[in-house]
Chain A
């Protein structure tokens, strides 16, 4: 039994917090930490110490004046390291900026204008996150507390209403009622499959016990996706609370969080949160006096993309090679160690407590009828504001890219809405969306209708300098490497597709290559064992469908329209743009460029090794590639 009730913990925290006059929150997400945010954290302490200004790093009784804390990922990774002082939001903060922030903002309440976020197109300065379009255009339900609360202090989560829903589930609701509420909410699995979560729970609930498991799938392997990492780093307790409610619903007493080892910070934060929950008696035996037990183990994946597939993940937790099994039986019937198991994605589980808080009916009002709720997307690639965004399901691609992410960027980093060429959604299993799809609502069914999928939420935006054949080849290279080798269509099929794509990008492709590629892709899609193989051909098929002319250019004309495929590239200098400065001549490693000072230069195609140095060096855009 806990020593203190959660209501008491919340009250104590709020009482202690009353003495805090200012709060400095430094983003401690992976992105900002790579940018040096922990040095900023240290600099704040040093500066306040130097000026003998009171501060604390923990909210305990007697804490007064300034509270310095870290937060989880705030999503606006492009502008990191991020710091907020009360509600004033600073970007690109360096340790050298700290004395000025202390002097002006903490002591006088003034704003340091040069550290505010400046909109790249309107040049407007924004003082708070609420004003910045990146945030104001989002609807942050799941991420609401990410970046606000200290992820390493369970008390703050509790003070914000945390674990109240878990308590309700354990003390006031029956397992049947919990499943019913989840079914009514219409929540669909956020890992990519989109299966109704409530139904999954209910299937597992009716299976005979007593031993059942809950697994949190945090093996976020899609390259270009980091939603789950951010949630675990920013609000690990929300994941734990979701797992607790799931456990209560199905009658499980043990759970696993399977996190990929590339996420050391997420592992650490999950472990810290679990330990704190155990210490407070929230996890463990006789939870909230209900007589029910639940414990959570954290397991680090050892690096295999296929382990995102649920049966492969289960094999890996059991200590075996992570290979998928034929379904049925589904994990709800025979999962971990042969016991009924519910396996949900991080984002799904983190949404659970929010659904219980607002009620299934209210939750259903967000987004379209068949895909209710919000969805987080990791928006990356050629956009102004790369980062993590949360929008209602059904928001269009155009809104996400132009309004939230600040628009597509050209190769020199300028925002140009016309530069948009395609967006890859759903990672290596997904498809590409083109200019024609900019107004398609992003939800499970609409995307399926255009041959793509929402996947886990990776959204890579590509500008016109991207070669789609190269992108398809890139994904195939990935799936080929990650194919576990159990079934032949996936193991051999991905390998052969990669060979064919390599032929195309290296100029050996013919019309027959295209034909074989398409035929093979369809065969692999139909006959593979698990989702990895079934979806591996998607990038090929969708680029073939939407960018066939680009494939034809590679095959028939032996040229790469985007100038990416090295073997097909031909470099030339446009005489009208060349100023004869000689920069390219000096940059060329093989001496293929010649020309007099002040006169247009020329490239000798026989000597040129197509390295691209001249193009990168030229300040006048005189070097052209391709046709």
Chain B
């Protein structure tokens, strides 16, 4: 058995090779690999006896699935209505400037950060909201956003 496919095979088995569970399967696989590599998706299609196009179709339909590798730290800036009217656009611009990212280039060259603009995290009471990895920051200003990034960069340097 191919070592690389071992975690995927385990997930497939746990889900009883049931093609109606494709979405939970892809979610669990993404948790392992942090994105959905093409060879893994082909392998899943093979094992579930469905076409690779179907797997690929589902993977590209939903926002949660990534088919390219993501950065080590995920920065999510909420651009839901409440955050938008409270100025989340300024935070997005600040993060983009700071990390030299654009609308199409969302991961930094050093693979340290990925910026995601998300629609509503449901923490509207704290708008504008920004989530770095698992930590939720409320009522963020553009300057604070830059500071959070600096802190991570400093911590990374220390650990390096």
Contacts and interface: CB of A to CB of B under 8 A. Distances in A.
Contacts of B119: 221, 223, 305, 478, 481-482
23 contacts: A30-B122, A33-B136, A77-B123, A77-B124, A80-B125, A222-B120, A226-B123, A299-B23, A301-B62, A302-B27, A303-B63, A318-B20, A322-B61, A380-B82, A380-B125, A381-B81, A388-B125, A424-B81, A427-B81, A460-B82, A474-B84, A475-B81, A481-B119
Interface in B2-31: 18-24, 26-27
Contact of B124 (A226, A319, A462, A466): A226
A406 interface: no
Contacts of A481: 119
Given A34-B137, A223-B82, A304-B61, 14 more contacts: A35-B126, A223-B119, A224-B80, A229-B122, A261-B27, A262-B122, A302-B62, A303-B62, A319-B21, A321-B61, A381-B127, A382-B86, A387-B125, A484-B61
B90 to A, nearest CB: 8
A224 B125 contact: no
Nearest to B125: A77
Contacts of A474: 81, 84
Interface residues of A, number: 55
Contacts of A484: 61
B23 A316 contact: yes
Interface of B: 18-24, 26-27, 54, 57-58, 61-65, 79-86, 118-127, 129, 136-138
Nearest to B25: A319
A79 to B, nearest CB: 9
B95 to A, nearest CB: 15
A378 B58 contact: no
Contacts of B24: 299-300
Contacts of B27: 261, 300, 302
Contacts of A223: 79-84, 119-120
A304 B126 CA distance: 23
Nearest to B65: A302
Contacts of B124: 77, 224-226, 378, 380, 386
Interface string A74-101: 0001101000000000000000000000
Nearest to B48: A319
B120 A262 contact: yes
A224, A229, A424, most chain B CB atoms within 10 A: A224
A20 B123 CA distance: 33
Contact of A466 (B83, B85, B118, B121): B85
B62, B81, B118, B138, most chain A CB atoms within 10 A: B81
B125 A386 contact: yes
B45 to A, nearest CB: 12
A382 B85 contact: yes
Contact of B122 (A78, A226, A299): A226
Contacts of A157: none
Nearest to A337: B20
Interface in A281-302: 299-302
Given A302-B63, A380-B81, A224 B120 contact: yes
A220 interface: yes
A262 B86 contact: no
A474 B138 CA distance: 21
A34 B80 contact: no
Contact of B138 (A34, A305, A378): A34
B76 to A, nearest CB: 9
Contacts of A221: 119-120
Contacts of A386: 82, 124-125, 127
Contacts of A387: 125
Contacts of B86: 381-382
A493 interface: no
A471 interface: yes
Interface string A446-470: 0000000000001010100010000
A304 B21 CA distance: 17
Closest 4 CB pairs of A and B: A77-B125, A223-B80, A303-B63, A302-B62
Contacts of A304: 61-63
A72 interface: no
Contact of A460 (B21, B85, B125): B85
